[in-house]
Structure 1
Amino acid sequence: MSNNSVSLRQLRAFIAVASEQSFTRAADKLDLSQSSVSTLVHELEANLGLRLFDRHTRQLHITQAGAELLPMMKKAVSDIDSVILSSSELKTLGRGRVSIAASSVQAALVLPYYIKQFALDYPDVKVELHDVAEHQVTKMVSSGEVDFGIGTESVNRPDLTAYLLSTDAFVVVMRADHALVHKRVLRWRDLTDVPVIGPHVGNPIRDRLDQALAIEGITLSRLYEVYLPLTMVGMVEAGLGVAVMSTALTKLATGLGLVMRDLADFDVRREVSLITHADRSLSPTAQRFRDILIRSRFEAFQN
């Protein structure tokens, strides 16, 4: 066998000649000159060290070796064509998958809006949304389980990159009949004497809030500690206390008839970031979704 590599053009020429049983008709089919097709077949025969056709003055017959190789070569060309088509579809977002990890609030109240818009533009791309606990977002991005994540946990590690999407203010969520509703000016110290519902220690949102309040000498005592924001809202609605939550929960809280109040003495905010792996390239589909989120910076939910 020759050291030269078998080329896709050689395989296509051989298949066309075998199909048409003529160099002339094969050349027309491939839109090449007859001499070019003949050269390609000769090169393939030289590379394989086999005669593929018996050539006579007016007749052309495929050899036994050529007949045995023909099905394999057709499959090889078909497989390569499928790879080329798939890569083209991925590049143009004609197919593909985007996998996102997000905290429950972002997954439930923010991302569905963007998933719908993306699906209208790219209906054949599958979007997988993993609604997980806040601390799991960075873990899933780091391990490669998802393309990127949306979270509020501070990212200070070399394997991850964070793009700021938005900032949310912390507000007090309470029932409309709660005593604090009637206070003209509500301050953080007003919350030290009422039952507060909040996340467990170690939750990045709680840590951000507690650190900011500690600077002002304020400590909130949580009567109830739960994991999910939906549970917090439900407990507030049941009259078990008030909750300090971000404005991302506005739609859910007001839907249950609850009141959200700003705190007048100082503003505490949390950052919502898009988190990617620093050393891993995104697919064209994931990159397009990421770019949409970065450009929008969650602007649909800033009001």
Structure 2
Amino acid sequence: MDINFELYKIFYYAAKHQSFSEAADKLFISQSAVSQAIKNLESKLGEQLFFRKKRKISLTREGELLFKHIEQAYNFIRSAESKFSEMKNLDAGEVRVGVSDTVCKYFLIPYLEKFNNNYPKIKIQVINRTSSQILELLNHGLVDFGIATLPVDDKNIEVKNFISVEDIFVACHKFSELKDRTVTLRELSEYPLLMLEKGSTTRRNIEEFLIKKGIDIAPEIELEDIDLLVEFAKIGLGVSCVLRESALEDIQHNQLFEIHTEYKLPLRKLGICTVKNVPLSRAASIMIDNLINK
């Protein structure tokens, strides 16, 4: 099917903004030209793409399907254009990074600061998501690379090892009977546990480890944010499983203490993830090299 790419471009803007007039403004063409282009595209595809009601438009089911693919293709094209503009001394361009807020806060910020100092004209966009959401962003071309908890079960994604991090159990003075001794995992499972939400890769890894030790847990509270787990532990809502770095300051100030268990939780590996066979921009490649060769 031979369809002029310009028609898809006009469709993309109309669908994104849910408006022919806004699409016209963005593309610097007339609204009638947008309307005619959409009619032309619908005729070539043999399907209606928009519901039209007075001045309002919305995507049909077929339109939503087309937009899903066109959006992905358009993002990859924008990425390619960005790569070309960066080839001259990195004096323009953007690096889009997908990373969890916790990893960004405790590990990534120094690298971002160094990169920004070395290449001040390169825009850095950080998108905070969970590991599974980061992989989705990668597959849709919305980030150049992501940092995710391993393992990654996606044949479309290439992974390079970044760092290993440690998760620990912490509690406040309310649970002082657990302090300064070795606690069995079974005993700990009888306390109110505060953990990351069930859908996260980190939570899944911890559960798999505990199941191998014959421990089945039923957390009292599940959250998406590790810093909130630290805060909840500080006010005595339970025993939190958190990233060591997130609790260090509170441990040093005696607001929390680390619970020493008979078996330490396995180190959690973080990987730098990219899409296979999709070339990286020079700026993204340099940032990844800085992370790997830290």
TM-score, normalised by the number of residues in structure 1: 0.64
1:87 and 1:213 map into 2 onto residues whose CA distance is 49
1:295 and 1:263 map into 2 onto residues whose CA distance is 33
Q: Does 1:188 align with 2:185?
A: yes
1:252 and 1:127 map into 2 onto residues whose CA distance is 28
Deviations 1:67-106 (A, max 9, x none): xxxxxxxxxxxxxxxxxxx958534222221100101211
Q: Secondary structure at the match of 1:193?
A: coil
Q: Give the equivalent residue in structure 2 for 1:243.
A: 240
Q: Does 1:175 align with 2:156?
A: no
**Aligned equivalent of 2:293, options 292, 295, 298:** 295
Counterpart of 1:233, as a letter, is V
Aligned partners of 1:170 and 1:262 also within 8 Å? no
1:27-38 equivalences in 2 (<5 Å) = none
Quote how far apart the aligned CAs of 1:210 are. Answer: 0.6
1:254 and 1:148 map into 2 onto residues whose CA distance is 33
Which of the pair has more CA radius of gyration? 1
Quote how far apart the aligned CAs of 1:138 are. Answer: 0.8
Structure-2 change in CA distance of 1:114 and 1:224 (3 Å): same
Stretch of structure 1 that moved more, 249-258 or 109-118: 249-258
Structure-2 change in CA distance of 1:196 and 1:277 (3 Å): same
Q: Does 1:280 align with 2:278?
A: yes
* Unaligned runs of at least 5 residues, structure 2: 1-82
**Aligned equivalent of 1:149, options 146, 150, 156:** 146
Deviations 1:109-154 (A, max 9, x none): 2211110011111111111111123321111111110000011152
**Aligned equivalent of 1:111, options 105, 108, 112:** 108
1:252 and 1:227 map into 2 onto residues whose CA distance is 21
**Aligned equivalent of 1:132, options 129, 140, 157:** 129
Aligned partners of 2:98 and 2:146 also within 8 Å? yes
Stretch of structure 1 that moved more, 279-288 or 227-236: 227-236
2:116 and 2:222 map into 1 onto residues whose CA distance is 37
Quote how far apart the aligned CAs of 1:290 are. Answer: 0.7
TM-score, normalised by the number of residues in structure 2: 0.66
1:20-99 equivalences in 2 (<5 Å) = 90-99=87-96
1:6-21 equivalences in 2 (<5 Å) = none
Q: Does 1:218 align with 2:233?
A: no
Q: Secondary structure at the match of 1:114?
A: helix
Q: Give the equivalent residue in structure 1 for 2:196.
A: 199
Aligned partners of 2:86 and 2:281 also within 8 Å? no
* Unaligned runs of at least 5 residues, structure 1: 1-85, 297-303
Q: Secondary structure at the match of 1:110?
A: helix
Q: Give the equivalent residue in structure 2 for 1:258.
A: 256
Structure-2 change in CA distance of 1:251 and 1:110 (3 Å): farther
Aligned partners of 2:168 and 2:259 also within 8 Å? yes
Structure-2 change in CA distance of 1:121 and 1:163 (3 Å): same
2:177 and 2:271 map into 1 onto residues whose CA distance is 32
Structure-2 change in CA distance of 1:89 and 1:223 (3 Å): closer
1:262 and 1:118 map into 2 onto residues whose CA distance is 38
Deviations 1:137-174 (A, max 9, x none): 11111111000001115212221011111122221121
Stretch of structure 1 that moved more, 88-97 or 284-293: 88-97
Structure-2 change in CA distance of 1:232 and 1:135 (3 Å): same
